[in-house]
Amino acid sequence: MFRVKVLRRYEVSSRFKLVTYLTSFIVGVFLFILFEVLLGANPYEVVDRLFVRPLTSYDDLRVSIRYAVPIGIIASGLLIVYRAGIYSIGAEGQMAVGAVFAAWAAYTLSLGSPTSVVVALLVGVLGGIIWGLLPATLKALLNVNEVLTTLMMNFIAYSLVDYLIYGPWRSPKSYGFPLTEPIPTVFTIPTYDGVPVINFLVFTLVVFLTYVVTKMSKLGFQIRAYGLNPSTAYASGMSFFKVVLLSFVISGALAGLAGALQLLSIHHRLGPKSWSVTEGLGYTAIVAAWISRLEPLAMIPASLLMGALVNGGLAIKAVLGQSEGVVNLMNGMILLSIVAAEFFINYRLVIRFR
């Protein structure tokens, strides 16, 4: 007979946290590789496609960076709401609506370059903010669970895109496919040898600004205070409504920005799920945010790693002929491992035999 007790850790070193996170990440990846082996895949090929080629081959590295940029921009916003103890999973929908708003700007406004690109990006940011305001208001005023509301808003965003591409925005030149017209050239953001350099510069600026907000501003202190102890923060006079609303606004703005950048630089049109501007990166950004341990400066390597894994997962899907859900499966395994790491950082198990 034995008994298991869960005891809280009160002092945890930075080294222990780092080792625990790294171990959990490795365990998550190992479980995914093991799953692939059980499906009959060669483990060496899986490792090569997941880690080696996406980070060493120039052609694959370009694709990894393309995925890393929107992941990092969105995750930079998510780390702010997560620091506040608010668990939004609505970045995918906010990203989609940001792309829709940017597409509307491209189709309806007649502007000269480079003003056109800037305006389209700002309109995309506005779309992300608007899509985050409903769950933010429900959370701030009625304390409605943000996980449910943000998830539902994602599906509404998908439906909005479907309505547009099957309805009023459907291109007559798409040969029956549900695609919109390509955006005008004046609204496109150039890439250099397939690398979205301008997008990456925007990403680094976002990381810097996120660092300033979280580490050097009054709002960042209030966000952290609410995340650690809401009751104490409220008793000290901090506004719960302000913290929730501004956290969602920042997160939605960055998700909308990522969607607009994807549309203007990579996709140039809206399409169904297989052509989607979001590509599921709004969900992948959740994993990147937790891998970075909600630290802004760690966002660059974390997002590059997740971009490489997304690239590698899609390569595995193509080479091994697997289903579209293989990347989501990998993200889920890694996220579960990181959640387990959070548990072991804050608690320890004591097994007593008797």
Which domain range does residue 94 map to? Answer: 68-292
pLDDT digits (tens, 9 = 90+) for 66-116: 999 999 999 999 999 999 999 999 999 999 999 999 999 999 987 777 789
pLDDT confidence bin for 134, thresholds 50/70/90: very high
Mean pLDDT calculated for residue range 258-273 = 93
* Cβ pair 178, 165 in contact under 8 A: yes
Mean pLDDT of 193-206: 92
Could you tell me if residue 144 is inside a domain?
yes
**Do 169 and 108 contact (CB within 8 A), yes or no?**
no
What is the dihedral angle through the alpha carbons of 225, 209, 303, 63, rounded to the nearest 10 degrees?
160
> Among positive and negative, which fits the CA dihedral 138, 141, 144, 147?
positive
Residue 184 domain flag: yes
3-state helix, strand, coil in the chain (%, to 5): 75, 5, 20
| Residue 229 resides in a domain | yes
Task: Give a yes or no: residue 53 inside a domain.
Answer: no
And the tokens for 161?
Answer: 């895109």
Per-residue pLDDT of 273-306, as tens digits, reads: 767 889 889 999 999 998 888 999 999 999 998 9
User: Is 25 a member of any domain?
Assistant: no
pLDDT of residue 334: 84
Does residue 59 lie in a domain region? no
DSSP of 128-148: HHHHHHHHHHHHHHH---HHH
Indicate the number of domains in the chain. 1
Pairing of strands 347-353, 2-8: antiparallel
Report the chain's mean pLDDT, rounded to a whole number.
89
The per-residue pLDDT for 319 is 78
Q: How confident is the model at residue 25 (pLDDT cuts 50, 70, 90)?
A: confident
Dig out the tokens for 138 from the structure. 């429900």
d(CA 280, CA 326): 12
* Residue 1: per-residue pLDDT: 67
Sign (positive or negative) of CA dihedral 37, 41, 44, 45? negative
Average pLDDT over residues 214-222: 92
Amino acid occupying residue 265: S
Instruction: Read off the pTM.
Output: 0.90
As a whole number, mean pLDDT of residues 307-314 equals 88
Residue 36 lies in a domain: no
Which amino acid is it at 94? Q
- Tokens 């697997």 sit on residue: 322
> Has residue 322 got a pLDDT over 80?
no
- Please report whether residue 125 resides in a domain: yes
Instruction: Tell me what pLDDT residue 354 has.
Output: 67
Kindly give, in sequence order, each residue whose CB lies less than 8 Å from that of residue 60, ignoring residues fewer than 6 positions away: 53, 54, 311, 315
Average pLDDT over residues 217-240: 87
Amino acid residing at 118: V
